[in-house]
Amino acid sequence: MKLLEVNDLKTYFKTSKGYVRAVDGVTFSLDHGECLGLVGESGCGKTTTALSITRLLPKGGEVKGGQIFLEGVDYATLTDKEIEDHRWEDVSIIFQGAMNAFNPVKKVGWQIAEACIRHKGMTKDEAWKRAGELFELVGIPAERVTQYPHEFSGGMKQRAMIAMALACDPKLIIGDEPTTALDVMIQAQILELLEDLRKKLNMGMILITHDLSILGETCDKIAVMYAGRIAEMGTVDDIFNHPAHPYTKALLACFPNIYSNERTVPEGIPGIPPDLIDPPEGCRFCPRCKCAFEACSKETPEFKEISEGHFVSCHLMGKEENHG
Amino acid sequence: MAEKLLEVKDLKVYFEMKKGLAKSLFGKPEILKAVDGVSFTINKGEILSLVGESGSGKTTTAKAILQLVPVTGGSVVFNGEEIVGKSDLTEFRKKAQMIYQDPYQSLNPRQYISDIVGEPLEVNGLVSTLEERDAKIKEALEEASLIPAEDYWFRRPFELSGGQRQRAAIAGSLILKPDLVAADEPVSMLDASIRTGIIDLMLKQRDMKGVAYLFITHDLSLAWLISDKIAIMYLGKIMEIGTAQEIVHESRHPYSKALLDIMPIPGKTLTEKRKILQGETPNASADIKGCKFCGRCPLATEICFEEEPTYKEVSPGHLVYCHKVEEEKTSD
């Protein structure tokens, strides 16, 4: 059985102007020990997808359709009470901006111990000991469990955040921009740590980021999201070396490559992402797409498998076949 | 030869740390050396990038050059004139501008875009009639690709996207036709697809009007893409300075090498494990006797902890702050 299967997930936010279709038909799956990178620009629904899986959506957000199977249990239909038993134990999340994710007036170790007491039924002493072990695991001296968040540097807070996510041995861990606020050197340290832990503990992992360049080394699969949908999904090699969707190609071209001989400023992608209250008909990338033709603004392209495990949602795929 | 626009020599900015009453009465004041002896020159129409991690003193260097923080020591010569200690900075302010990192915070939310962009004109008394003012604002907005300008005239910042806001901020800095613009991480808050448009806009101003940039970034690949020269900073010191190609492809300092080594290259699978520096940048108030980088340097030997290195010129204009560089040369 797959670890995680997300089928046609739809998460909408209610606003006074209507529903914002933040996630609108997302499908993917993940095996045990596998890492999926979820990449896209701000507002494309990456974080909402993660929050839907953990059912931590902010007020107004609602899973409107689709299924989220984690080891066969459909998280989309569980009640708020039921999901509490699964959260942290089966799936945990490393939040964006470790700087602000901890409670500043409680000891860091205690914030981790709390989860162990609630979910594992440990005594206070056991839980403190467990917090110390977790600190060692992520590379912080165990004696620092009694310190407060302000005594930690940014990189250490992020490490502690990871320790917290590991507290109850989850099967799936979701990192929501885990390195965005950090310096490049610390970013490399954290990514290496996540990679080591995933292999050691055989966890499934979803890594959410807007920086496509960091995914190459950490992930097995990459899903490129645009305006609430997955534009393209495939292995790291598929996405980087054989991208098929015009958006993926344009996004890749935005990152300068220091090993190319010429220094030319990439074109970028003109225009801005669509309004998700009233998204355009057909393909959502159509208004910004250089290759768009008639069908693009009329029909929603289907999510087609062009080679094993490589899915693309683009009308061009069918077109080429017809011509060939 | 290119004309020199800005010459910074041994610039120092120290801050005194605040602490408790008892300590401030009896102890020695604790000094944070944000910028500790930085020297470089920028020619007209040139782009110099300052690259480094947070706390390395990049922003403070830029602010010190623009006289926005008190300078502790050193000199800043702009267009042949010493700026440090000068009492009347009006002319200098017109010629040297800054673009800030966060377009969500740097624009006044209550003002119209046209007023934000036009304010520098009024402050400096550069326009006498309303028509003249409006014409200049229109020109500035159009140059920043906020077209048609009328559409943006009576909008407030919250009605604009991040990229548009940064364009408005740039329009405001460029309306005075400055010679030098210090751009503090102008694209780090923006999405990759929006980023290149802003970079393009800045480069166009350089090509058309000869604006020189002091470009601050933590992204070495971006610095490489646009700069003539790159300076790598660490703890208030320049570790290595040279042309963009020299820094990226022929770097000599262990810190620059470490930064390059962790740069992810899209699509390239790793053959060997990266050499990631362990630990974190020490506090800038710590008293480091020898080389600033010695604590984390993989090559550090005794001399690095004892003596401060000097800058060694490995090729014309390519300076390296490291004890080990010459040794490497002799052993070759």
What region, left, alpha or beta, does residue A169 occupy, with left being phi > 0 and alpha being psi -120 to 50 degrees? Answer: left
**Yes or no, beta carbons of B193 and A251 under 8 Å apart:** yes
pLDDT band at B330 (very low <50, low <70, confident <90, very high): very low
Which whole number is the average pLDDT over B173-197?
90
For residues A75 and A3, is the Cβ–Cβ distance under 8 A?
A: no
What's the pLDDT tens digit per position in A178-237? 888 788 888 888 888 999 999 999 999 999 998 888 888 888 999 999 999 999 999 999
pLDDT at B1 (0 to 100): 56
pLDDT at B270 over 70: no
User: Which secondary structure element, helix H or strand E, spans residue A175, and what is its range?
Assistant: strand A172-176
* A267 contacts chain B (CB < 8 A): yes
pTM across the whole model: 0.86
pLDDT at B267 (0 to 100): 61
Q: B124: burial class by Cβ within 10 Å (0-12, 13-18, 19+)?
A: middle
* A281-286 long-range Cβ contacts below 8 angstroms, 24+ apart: A283/A313, A283/A314, A283/A315, A284/A226, A284/A227, A284/A228, A284/A229, A285/A226, A285/A227, A285/A231, A285/A245, A285/A246, A285/A247
Q: Which residues does chain B have within 8 Å of residue A269's beta carbon, measured at their own beta carbons? A: 193-194
Residue of B nearest to A247 (CA): B193
pLDDT at B36 (0 to 100): 92
* B201 contacts chain A (CB < 8 A): no
pLDDT at B247 (0 to 100): 94
Give the residue from B161, B225, B229, B263 with the most A CB atoms within 10 Å of its CB, the best one to mutate.
Answer: B225
What's the pLDDT tens digit per position in B1-28? 578 999 999 999 999 877 677 666 777 7
What's the pLDDT tens digit per position in A222-252? 999 999 999 999 999 999 999 999 999 999 8
| pLDDT > 70: percent of chain B | 93
Give the residue from B196, B206, B274 with the most A CB atoms within 10 Å of its CB, the best one to mutate.
Answer: B196
**Yes or no, beta carbons of A240 and B266 under 8 Å apart:** yes
Q: What mean pLDDT, rounded, does chain A reach? A: 89
Q: Catalogue all structural domains in chain B, each as residue range(s) with its CATH number.
A: 4-266+281-331 (3.40.50.300)
Q: For B136-235, where are the E strands, in sequence order?
A: 180-184, 212-217, 229-234
DSSP characters over B80-141:
TEE-TT-S--HHHHHHEEEE-S-TTTSS-TTS-HHHHHHHHHHHTT---SHHHHHHHHHHHH
User: Which secondary structure element, helix H or strand E, spans residue A322, and what is its range?
Assistant: helix A315-323
**Yes or no, beta carbons of B196 and A42 under 8 Å apart:** no
For residues B152 and B128, is the Cβ–Cβ distance under 8 A?
A: no
Q: For A196-277, where are the E strands, in sequence order?
A: 204-209, 221-226, 229-235
What's the pLDDT tens digit per position in A88-145? 889 999 987 767 888 999 999 999 999 899 888 899 999 999 999 999 999 899 999 9
What residues form DSSP beta bridges with B324? none
Could you report the predicted ipTM of this complex, rounded to two decimals? Answer: 0.82
Question: Using CB atoms and an 8 Å cut-off, which of residues 191-220 of chain A contact chain B?
Answer: 192, 210-214, 216-217
What's the pLDDT tens digit per position in B39-50? 999 999 999 999
Chain A: nearest CA to B3, how far in angstroms? 24
Least CB–CB distance from A217: residue in B193, B197, B264: B264
Q: Catalogue all structural domains in chain A, each as residue range(s) with its CATH number.
A: 4-90+170-266 (3.40.50.300), 101-169 (no CATH)
pLDDT at B140 over 90: yes
pLDDT at A320 (0 to 100): 57
For residue A66, which phi and psi values (nearest 5 degrees)? 90, 175
What's the pLDDT tens digit per position in B302-327? 999 999 999 999 999 999 999 988 75
Q: Which residues does chain A have within 8 Å of residue B203's beta carbon, measured at their own beta carbons? A: 265
* A181 contacts chain B (CB < 8 A): no
What's the pLDDT tens digit per position in B61-118? 999 999 999 999 999 999 999 999 888 998 999 999 999 988 888 899 999 999 999 9
pLDDT at B24 (0 to 100): 67
Q: Which residues does chain A have within 8 Å of residue B192's beta carbon, measured at their own beta carbons? A: 41, 210-212, 251, 254-255
Q: Which residues does chain A have within 8 Å of residue B196's beta carbon, measured at their own beta carbons? A: 254, 265-268
pLDDT at A324 (0 to 100): 36
**Yes or no, beta carbons of A185 and B259 under 8 Å apart:** yes
| pLDDT > 90: percent of chain A | 50
Least CB–CB distance from B221: residue in A41, A258, A265: A258
Give the residue from B191, B204, B246, B247 with the most A CB atoms within 10 Å of its CB, the best one to mutate.
Answer: B191
Residue of A nearest to B245 (CA): A258
For residues B241 and B214, is the Cβ–Cβ distance under 8 A?
A: no
* B283 contacts chain A (CB < 8 A): no
pLDDT band at B277 (very low <50, low <70, confident <90, very high): confident
Which whole number is the average pLDDT over B254-281?
78
Chain B: nearest CA to A311, how far in angstroms? 18
Residue of B nearest to A42 (CA): B191
pLDDT at B159 over 50: yes
**Yes or no, beta carbons of B225 and A265 under 8 Å apart:** yes
Chain A: nearest CA to B269, how far in angstroms? 7
